[in-house]
Chain A
Amino acid sequence: MPGLLPIDTLLIVACAWLAIGAAGLVAPRNTRFIARTLFPLGALVGIVAGLVALGSLGSPAQTAVLAIGLPDLPFHLRLDNLSAVFVLLLGIVSAGISIYAAGYFRHPGQGGQGTAPGVLCVEYHLFLASMLMVLLADDAYAFMVAWETMALSSFFLVTTDHRHAAIRQAGYLYLLIAHVGAIAILLSFGVMTGGVGGSGDYTFAGMRAQELSPFWGSVAFLLALFGFGAKAGLLPVHVWLPEAHPAAPSPVSALMSGVMLKTAIYGLLRVSFDLVGMTLWWWGVVALAIGLLTALFGVFYATVQSDMKRLLAYSSIENIGLIAVGIGLTLIFHAYAMEALAALALTAVLYHCLAHAGFKSLLFLCTGSVLHATKERSLGKLGGLIGPMPWVAWLALAGVIAGAGLPPLSGFVSEWLLLQGFLFSPGLPHPWLNMVVPVAAAIVALVAALAGFAMVKFYGIIFLGQMREPALKDAHDAGPWERLGLVWLGGLTLLLGVLPGTIILRIDAATQQLLGKGLADRVAENGWWMLAPISPERASYEPLLFLAFIVATLLFGRWLVRRLYHGRVRRSPAWDCGYHFQGPRAQDTAEGFSQPIRRIFEPMFRMERHFPTLRDKEPYYSVKVEDHFWYWLYLPVARAAAWVSTLITHLQGGRIAVYLMYSFVTLILLLLVARP
Chain B
Amino acid sequence: MTFSLSGFLGQLFAIVLALALAPLLTGWVNQCRAWLQNRGAPPLLQPYYMLHKLFHKDVVLAHGASSLFRAAPFVIFGCMVLACAIIPSLSTDLPFAPAADALALVGVFGLARVFIALAGMDIGTSFGTLGGRREMLVGFLAEPALLIVIFTVALIVQSTSVATIVETLAHRDFIIYPSLAFAGVAFTMVSLAENARVPVDNPATHLELTMIHEAMILEYSGRHLALIEWAASLKLYAYSCLGLALFFPWGIAERDNFLALLAAIPLLLLKLGIGGFLLALIETINAKMRIFRAPEFLGTAFLLAVLGMLVKLLLENRV
Q: Do A and B bind?
A: yes
The chain A residues found within 8 Å of chain B, CB to CB, are 383-384, 386-387, 390, 393, 397, 400-401, 404-407, 412, 416, 419-420, 422-423, 426, 434-435, 438-439, 441-442, 445-446, 448-450, 452-453, 455-457, 459-461, 464-466, 527, 530, 532, 536-542, 545-546, 549-554, 557-558, 561, 564-566, 568-577, 579, 582, 584, 586-588, 592-593, 595-597, 599-600
Q: Is B232 at the interface (CB under 8 A from chain A)?
A: no
B67 CB, min distance to chain A CBs, angstroms: 7
Query: Which parts of B286-319 form the interface with A (CB within 8 Å)?
Result: 292, 295, 302, 305-306, 309-310, 313-314, 317
Q: Which residue of A lies closest to B132 (CB)?
A: A460
Q: Are A445 and B147 touching (Cβ within 8 A)?
A: yes
Contact of A438 among B118, B155, B305 (CB under 8 A): B155
Q: A438-B155, A546-B99 are in contact. List 12 more A-B contacts (CB 8 A).
A: A387-B66, A423-B154, A426-B313, A439-B310, A446-B302, A459-B118, A465-B123, A568-B59, A582-B125, A584-B124, A587-B125, A592-B129
- Known A-B contacts A539-B161, A557-B77, A575-B219; the reply to A449 vs B133 at CB < 8 A is no
Cα distance A653–B221 in the bound complex, in angstroms: 82
| Residues in A whose Cβ lies below 8 Å from that of B155 | 423, 426, 438
- In the complex, whether B107 has a CB less than 8 A from a CB of chain A is yes
The reply to whether B317 and A553 contact each other, CB–CB distance below 8 Å, is no
Q: B302: which A residues are within 8 A, CB to CB?
A: 442, 446
Given the complex of chains A and B, what is the CA–CA distance between A587 and B227 in angstroms?
A: 26
A587 lies within 8 A of B218 (CB) = no
Indicate the member of B55, B126, B140, B141 with the most A CB atoms within 10 Å.
B140
Interface of A is mostly: helix
Q: Which residues on A sit within 8 Å (CB–CB) of B151?
A: 419, 422-423, 438, 441-442, 445
Report which of A538, A570, A595 forms a contact with B158, defined as CB distance below 8 A.
A538
CB pair A465 B121 closer than 8 Å:
yes
A449–B59 CB distance below 8 A: no
> Is B114 a contact partner of A386 (Cβ separation < 8 A)?
no
Cβ proximity bits B125-145 to A, threshold 8 Å, 1 near / 0 not: 111111011101101110110
Q: Please determine whether A407 and B111 come into contact, CB atoms closer than 8 angstroms.
A: yes
Residues A401 and B114 in contact in the complex (CB < 8 Å), given A423-B154, A561-B55, A565-B223: yes
Taking a contact as CB atoms under 8 Å apart, the answer to whether A569 and B107 are in contact is no
> Which partner residue on chain A sits nearest B142 by CB separation?
A449
Query: Among B96, B117, B313, which residue has its beta carbon within 8 angstroms of that of A545?
Result: B96
Contact B159 A407 (CB under 8 A): no
Is B101 in contact with chain A by the CB < 8 A criterion?
Answer: yes
| A464 partner residues in chain B, CB cutoff 8 A | 66, 68, 118, 121-122, 124
- In the assembled complex, how far is the CB of residue A465 from the closest CB belonging to chain B, in whole angstroms? 3
At the interface, yes or no: B1 with Cβ under 8 Å from chain A?
Answer: yes
Complex CA distance for A576 and B127, rounded to whole angstroms: 7
Q: Which A-B residue pairs are the 10 nearest by beta carbons?
A: A465-B124, A466-B124, A445-B144, A574-B62, A553-B78, A460-B121, A588-B129, A576-B125, A550-B78, A449-B143
Q: Which residues of A contact B77 (CB under 8 A)?
A: 553-554, 557
> With a CB–CB cut-off of 8 A, which chain A residues contact B161?
536-540
CA distance A573 to B65 in the complex (A): 10
The answer to whether B173 has its CB under 8 Å from any CB of chain A is no
Complex contact B133–A588 (CB within 8 A): yes
Whether B317 contacts A406 by the Cβ 8 Å rule is no
The number of chain B residues with a CB under 8 A from chain A is: 84
Q: Are B139 and A453 interface neighbours, CB within 8 A?
A: yes
Q: Is B96 in contact with A586, judged by CB distance below 8 angstroms?
A: no
Say yes or no: B219 contacts A574, CB within 8 Å.
yes
Residues in B neighbouring A530, C-beta threshold 8 A: 1, 98
> Assuming A442-B309, A554-B78, is B129 touching A460 (CB within 8 A)?
yes
> How far is it, in angstroms, between the C-alpha of A596 and the C-alpha of B151 when the chains are bound?
27
Query: Which residues in B have their C-beta under 8 angstroms from that of A575?
Result: 60, 62, 218-219
Q: List A contacts of B118 (CB < 8 A).
A: 456, 459-460, 464
Q: Measured between alpha carbons, how far is A459 from B61 in the docked complex, in Å?
A: 21
B245 to chain A, nearest CB (A): 16
Q: How far is it, in angstroms, between the C-alpha of A416 and the C-alpha of B100 when the chains are bound?
A: 11
In the complex with contacts A442-B309, A587-B124, A549-B111 CB distance below 8 A:
no
Partner of B136, one of A453, A558, A573, A599: A453
Q: Cβ of B255 < 8 Å from any Cβ of A?
A: no
Q: Verify A540–B98 contact, CB threshold 8 A.
A: yes
A571-B99 contact given A459-B118, A576-B219, CB 8 Å threshold: no
- CB-CB contacts below 8 Å: B49-94 with A: 55-56, 58-64, 66-68, 71, 74-75, 77-79, 81-82, 85
- With A464-B68, A464-B122 in contact, is A551–B78 under 8 Å at CB? yes
Q: Are B114 and A452 in contact (CB under 8 A)?
A: yes
Q: Say whether, besides A530-B1, A553-B77, A569 and B96 are in contact (CB < 8 Å).
A: no
- Which chain B residues border A407 with CB–CB below 8 Å? 100, 104, 107-108, 111
Min Cβ gap B101→A in Å is 5
List the A residue with the shortest CB-CB distance to B223.
A561
Q: How far is the CA of A422 from the CA of B150 in the complex (A)?
A: 13
| A485 → B minimal CB distance (Å) | 22
Which of chain A's residues have a CB closer than 8 A to the CB of B79?
A: 550
B110 at the interface (CB under 8 A from A): yes
Q: List 28 A-B contacts (CB under 8 A).
A: A386-B68, A405-B110, A416-B103, A419-B103, A442-B148, A442-B151, A445-B143, A449-B140, A452-B110, A453-B136, A456-B132, A464-B68, A464-B124, A538-B160, A539-B103, A539-B159, A542-B98, A546-B100, A546-B104, A561-B55, A564-B55, A566-B58, A570-B59, A571-B62, A574-B63, A576-B127, A588-B132, A588-B133
How near does chain B come to A328, taking the closest CB pair, in angstroms?
18
User: A397 to B66, alpha carbons, bound, how many Å?
Assistant: 13
Nearest-neighbour CB distance to chain A for B160, whole angstroms, equals: 4
* Contact for B111 among A406, A587, A596, A600, CB less than 8 A: A406
- Chain A hits for B305, CB < 8 A: 442
Q: Which of B59, B61, B100, B114 contacts A456 (CB 8 A)?
A: B114
Shortest CB-to-CB span from B22 to chain A, Å, is 14
Closest to A558 in B: B74
Provide the residues of chain A in CB contact with B219, threshold 8 Å. 574-576
**Contact status of A452 and B139, CB under 8 A, knowing A549-B78, A577-B206:** yes
